Structures are given as structure tokens and as C-alpha cells.
Structure 1
Amino acid sequence: MTPNVQTRSKWRRPVRLAAAGIASVLVVVSYLSGVGGDADAVDVRRVSEPAMPTTQPTVAPTSTSAVVPASSSHGVAAAPTAPAVARKAAPKTAATQTRATPESAVLDWVDAVGRGDVKTAAALVGRKSRRYIESLGGNVEGFMKESQEGYGGWVQSSDRQTTEIELGAVDNAPTTIVVLSGTSRGEGSDGFRTDAIPAVRIGGGWMVEPTAFRSDTGGRLELVTPTRASDGRLATMQPDGVISANALGTGDFYFSLEDQPAARVQGERAGGGARATWDPPGDMAAHRHLLVVAYADGDTLTAFAGVFDVA
């Protein structure tokens, strides 16, 4: 049964397609009800780094001897010509697409991933995610194919729901976290799930940033409170409870309950990273809440979404 999260959200019924079973190399930033895991952390770093084919052409330089003609048409020896060297072909600029709203960008992206349309999915990926993927020696289309088992399950969801959380300007670009919630058949499980996917406005349109991580630190985001219960669910909290999270770096955290605009909190140094604590205004009501936590630090833009109860 889908938990009753009290939120003003939009509903979309996706096209039903069969998702192919391909092992994912990315840990999806999600909370999957009923699935166990680290009791304290939501880790969105890569779990493996398979060798990825590169699409950049490589041409070995070759040279020819300079040709010096005996004379020019005027009977004067011509200057020698420079050796002809075959240069590396410049990599092609990847085709990109944008959408009119954050929601349409994310929905079109997950649907493209689910139906195996890697060209459209890759074209909707923003520059930070693209830069991270290419820093691993991979190509964006290959990563979209590997993401099909995880994100692709949303195309089969009959109760998919979206919630938009506005962060404001992040790294000088309007940014919104789009949360998908509902029954998903991704990664070998049929159950309630939430995914938080950042969307960024580039020029006049929106693109998605599903893997906007720094190559040296990844996209690790640890939820400290609420903790996880033994069954993997977020633990029940008291009405006066606080939300806290850790991340690597020195960036800003964003916290939101339901579909409210996010509260920005500057991280404080904690060990090798940063921690932020947010005290929601007033006491939290005694019902089920949708929690969204995001973190931004340069090339890192990552987010988590989950549900918890207040006693």
C-alpha cells in the first residue's frame, strides 16, 4: 500500500514499457521502503567503475617530408612547406535538449531511460553530470543504458507522483529538486520508493543533473536524523525533532518537508566534511511526512528523499 504523504503534488501516468534488466553502476539517490541498508548513510557514490568505451576519436599523428620545389613560376626557389601532420579530430559537441519545466525534464528523462532511448536521455543530462561521467573515462549514453534498471522502473509505475522543491539559485542557476514517489519495479523490487532528481535551468530550458558529483569526492550524503529503523525505513520522530545530515565538502544544505520551499543551511565543518542541522519551524504534525535533503558544493549537486512518521 502506498504511504499517504500529505503533500500538494502532481500526478502523471507514464507509458507502460518493459524495462530490460541491466546491472546499474550508480547508486540511485533514493529511499526504498522495506529494503535494508546502512543504518546511518545514504551513499550516492559509484559502487563500481567498469571500463567504459570512449567516443573521442584518436588519430596517431603522421608526418611527411617537406616538399621543396626546384623553382617557382618566377624561377626563384620557393620556401619549404611545413610538414603535413594529421591532427587529432576535435571531439564532437554532444547534442543537448531542454524542457520547459523541471518536472517535464525529469519525467521525459526517466521515461527515455526506461524505454532504452539513450540518445534522448543523454541529451537531457546537464553539464555537471556529463563532466563527472566523462571524468571516469565513460560516455553519457553508456551510463544512461546502465541506469535503466534503477530509474527505468518508473515507466511501469501506475501511481507515480511528482513533487517539486525549489532551491533558488545554486551556482548561479535556478535549481529544483523533482521527487518521484510511488510503486516502482526497479532493481528487483516492487514497492514504494522515492527518488530525488535535481533539475537546473540552462538558458531558457531545464536539464537534469542525476550524477552531478565531484570526481574526487563523489556525491556522498549521509542522513544523520532521522535514523534508519532495522527494516530500512526512516525511524519515527517526535514533533520537536530536528533533521541533520553530513556531506563531503564545505557547501550548503537544503531541507524541505512536503512541498515547501527549501530552507538553506550553511554546513559546519565536521571531520573531513560538513554537517548541517535544521529545526523545522514549530512542531511537526503527527502524520507521515515527505523529507527532501539536498547538498550543493561546486560540481556536486545531490539530493535525497524519503518518508517518515511523527508520533
Structure 2
Amino acid sequence: MTIRSLVPLPVRRHFRDLSASYSTLRLIAGMWEDQGFTPSGEPNNESGERRGFWREFEDNVDWTDPGHVNRVVRVYETLVDAITPEELASTRKFMDRQGFDVDAEGRIRPKSNTALAMVAAMPRSLNTLRDPAMILDSFERINRALPTDPAQAIGSAKELVEATAKTVLEELGVPFEDKTAKLPQLIDRAQRELGLHPQTAAPGPDGSQAVKRILGGLSGIALGLGELRNEGWGTGHAARRTGLRPRHGYLAVGAAHTWCQVVLDTLADPSAPWRTQVADATAG
């Protein structure tokens, strides 16, 4: 699955145009390079040296990659900080039409109905996965559901946890029955494999009583999502919508995000205790 571009073309063109009034090529380079981007060196048809140079950095952006897009937004914010008050007022109006807020400090935030709103909720460690397709699909569904369809948001939040658990097990090479595995089994197995289960937590902070208590609550959060959906409050089981409010959808999505964030960050952490445990088992 390939998700759509997370930054609309008009927004890209707007900031490319703004770059033409930015003082020097050196400063443009600094903005992009500070965020880890390099120019492509490829010729383009942009008019003006500054616009063309800006475009070379854009050439090396994956506009479907949440990590790349978050860094591009930081570039935009740096440029916003340097433009005139008149340009800032114009940019605010333009970005509002495109579904973004530019606050008094120049920070850019997506409104809830934009594609980039999905980026804000995505763990950055998602970028380390070989195949994040199932997780991205769940985020797409959540993005479409909030805030107007809490039943769909609840159902998609449950699917996000399930997709994350399956993806983690696949990344670790742990076999499971894709068609028949139940959510509680997937959650338990994923957390155990990553040392995130209260019974498998490693020495150090991961094995402290406080962290074990939190990990137990983490399991409960994920399991609660499945139960909420199975009780009929989420799509997939003849959803009951009477009484559901946007806050219920946000509750479910927030819970799912918390679980996924911890699991994916632990999977990506090069010094996480689970890696030592795997190495020890292999050596033995």
C-alpha cells in the first residue's frame, strides 16, 4: 500500500514561492540541512536561483513518509519565522484554506480533517518498519473517522492495535495464525516478545515495580479496545451509535496510539533489553 502525499501541492508551491524572498542560498541550505535533507543536484524548471535550489531539497523528500514530512514542517516553520508580517498574514490565510493553523509563534499544525493530522499521531519509529502498510491503513481510517464518526474511530482504533501487533510479530519473525489469532493473543505475544509484559520485563527500569504496573495497564488498554468494539460500540459488530460522542472516539484512538507508540518505539530501540535477550538465546 502506498499512502497519498501528506502535504498538498499548493502548500509546497506556496513555501517554494516564499523561499524566493529569503535572503541567501546559504540560509536556505541551512534550513533544510538542519533537518537532515540534502539537495538532489538535479536540474529543474523553477524560475529563479532560490526557488530552484529549494526545489532540489524537495526532490529528496518522501511526501508519504511521516518522518520526512514532520521534518519538512520544521523547515516551513523556520521560513515562517523569517518572513515579513505582511507575508505572515497572507500565509496564515492561505494555510487556513488548506486546512492548517499557523499559531502566533509560527508553529504549523494540521486541522483534524487534513491528511497531515494523521502524521501528528504516528509514532516516528513507524519509519523503521519494513512493511508498515497495515498500520498506515488503520491511521488512514482513523483520520477519516475523527471527529464525526466515533463508532468508526473505535473500530479503527482496535484495528490499529491488531495491525501493530501483527506487524511487530512479522518484524521479529515470530509465527502466528493470521486468520485465526485473536486480539488478546496477539497483544500478549507482542508484549512478551518485546519484554513489555509484566512477567517478562528485564532488569533495570524496565523491570521496576512501577514500570511493571504501567505495563499491566498498557495491556489492559489494548484489551479494553477490543472489548469496547466487541460490545457493539465500534464498527464491525453491528455498531450501536446511540449515545456515542466524539470524546469516545478520541478516547479509543488515544488509547490505541499509546499502546502502539510504546510497542513500536521498543521494537526500534537499538538498546532495548529484548535485543539482548534474543542475542543470548541465539548464542545459547
TM-score range, shorter chain: under 0.3
Structure having the higher helix fraction is 2
TM-score normalised over the length of structure 2: 0.27
Report the TM-score, using the length of structure 1 for normalisation.
0.25
Higher strand share: 1
Q: Which has the larger radius of gyration?
A: 1
Q: Which has the higher contact order (CA 8 A, sep 6+)?
A: 1
